[in-house]
Structure 1
Amino acid sequence: MKKFADTVRRLLSIALNLFIVWAEPIALPMSWDWGKEQMFIFYTEDSNILSACICAMVAVGQLVCIFTGRELPRWLHTLKYIATCCLTMTFLTVVFVLGPMYEDGNGWYIMLCTSSMLYHHLLNPLAAIFSFVLLERTPRLPRSTVKWALLPTVLYGGIILWLNIQRVVDGPYPFMKVYDQSVQASVLWCIAILLMNYFYAWLLWKLNGGKKENA
């Protein structure tokens, strides 16, 4: 019975990971039509491309696990954790920051239910969260893994902020526009985003059943 339950769990994990892989060829052309190469300066597109690649690896890994009876390698589980944190950051930033910025009150609908944003802001993040939290609970990740989930955000933020300072790009997010706000505001935004990212990463680690001891 346990073997059957494990097989079902892995098949569901494969299905959700492949959904994210399947969604990218649909969503990316929409993003390209909207902004061409400018789409690559958005955290949303970058995190979804990264996550699709990792989810493809996880789907293959889960298929191997069905035949071997083993669990995902820790390194692959860690990559899925990092990808899930990125998509969670995308989803919740839209919900709590970008959505409310629309003055007409349609921000959440526009950013969660239209064009490529339906996949990149809503469906892909939810698929990643559900699969990671409910279906990919082993091997348990040590508490020290949480800090690595911030790495993509730090790298992205550092590069985009520098490009904004050099006036190579403008934004693309309102809180990244360093010349439209004070230095103090930019610093506070950076701190707030990293704190949010850390909290989301810690919460996902906790919900996934992460272990406290370092390993």
Structure 2
Amino acid sequence: MRTTKLQKLLSIFCNLLILYWESIALPISWEGVGMEMFTFYTENSNLFSTLACALMAAAQIGALLTGGEVPRWVKTLKYMSTCCLMLTFLTVVFVLAPIYGPGGYYVLLLTGSMLYHHFLNPVVSFFSLVLFERAPRLPRRAALYDLVPTLLYGAAALAMNLARVLEGPYPFFKIYEQPVWVSCLWAVVLLGGSFLIDRIVWRLNTGKVPART
């Protein structure tokens, strides 16, 4: 599996575009909530993506000049950050926007920093990875890698909610406002959904097709 010059150029463009968008979105988030922005999975996943995209753009430029491929660890970071962004995007679409009520999709996907953090960055990162960053091929176990940042964030947010240092910031972390079994159900759904996203993105990136039975 080799990456063509056109794919490398398009990859560089997409990653630099995400960096540009983040330069717009980050000041908006900071102006809105300040340091509190770091309590949101959305903000943290987009900051992670910023690092991964910067590394991928630089590595692709080097690969374009040498005719080689990007290092596997750079591809792994881009894969992990893309999966985190897709978890953000799908959580907004299927959980947060419906909870928000009328106008939820418009507000959470198309206004302020959320236009970039909830919609544009996840979509462009996904298509960039799947279409233009197919090499080097990642091993099957890579689908487990993305669970690490998600687990770390979830554990920290849960601990701070238990200690009443933090409330939320998402409805499923408000453990004192819901039965224990509901919190456990949310954990299963979110972690299971995260793993499913990781597997799907990995298959699309590697070109692997599930075997028919």
Displacement of 1:210 after TM fit?
6.0
Could you list the runs of 4 or more consecutive aligned residues of structure 1 that deviate by over 3 angstroms after TM superposition? none
Supply the distance in 2 between the matched residues of 1:109 and 1:35 (Cα, whole angstroms): 20
1:83 corresponding residue in structure 2: 81
1:44 and 1:65 mapped to 2: Cα distance?
30
Q: Residue 143 of structure 2 aligns to which amino acid in structure 1?
A: V
Of the three residues 53, 56, 59, the one matched with 1:55 is 53
Q: Give the alignment's TM-score, normalised by structure 2.
A: 0.95
Written as runs of structure 1 = structure 2, the 5 A alignment for 1:192-207 is 192-207=189-204
How far residue 24 of structure 1 moved from its aligned partner, in angstroms, is: 1.4
How far apart are the structure 2 equivalents of 1:51 and 1:102? 26
RMSD, aligned α-carbons: 1.4
Deviations 1:40-81 (A, max 9, x none): 100000000110011000000000000111111111111110
Which shows bigger deviation, 25-34 or 168-177? 25-34
Give percent identity, aligned residues only.
Answer: 50
Shift of 1:149: 1.2
Q: Secondary structure at the match of 1:208?
A: helix
Residue of structure 2 in register with 1:43 after alignment: 41
Pairwise CA distance, 1:102: 1.9
**Secondary structure, aligned partner of 1:175:** helix
One-letter identity of the residue aligned with 1:202: R
Q: Report deviation, 1:135.
A: 0.3
Residue 181 of structure 1 deviates from its aligned partner by 0.6
Tell me which residue corresponds to 2:108.
111
Whether the 8 Å CA contact 1:30–1:115 is kept in 2: the answer is: yes
Alignment partners' CA distance in 1, 2:65 and 2:30 = 39
CA distance in 2, matches of 1:73, 1:211: 21
Structure 2 runs not aligned, ≥5 long: none
Q: Name the amino acid aligned to 2:110.
A: C
What's the TM-score, normalizing by structure 1?
0.94
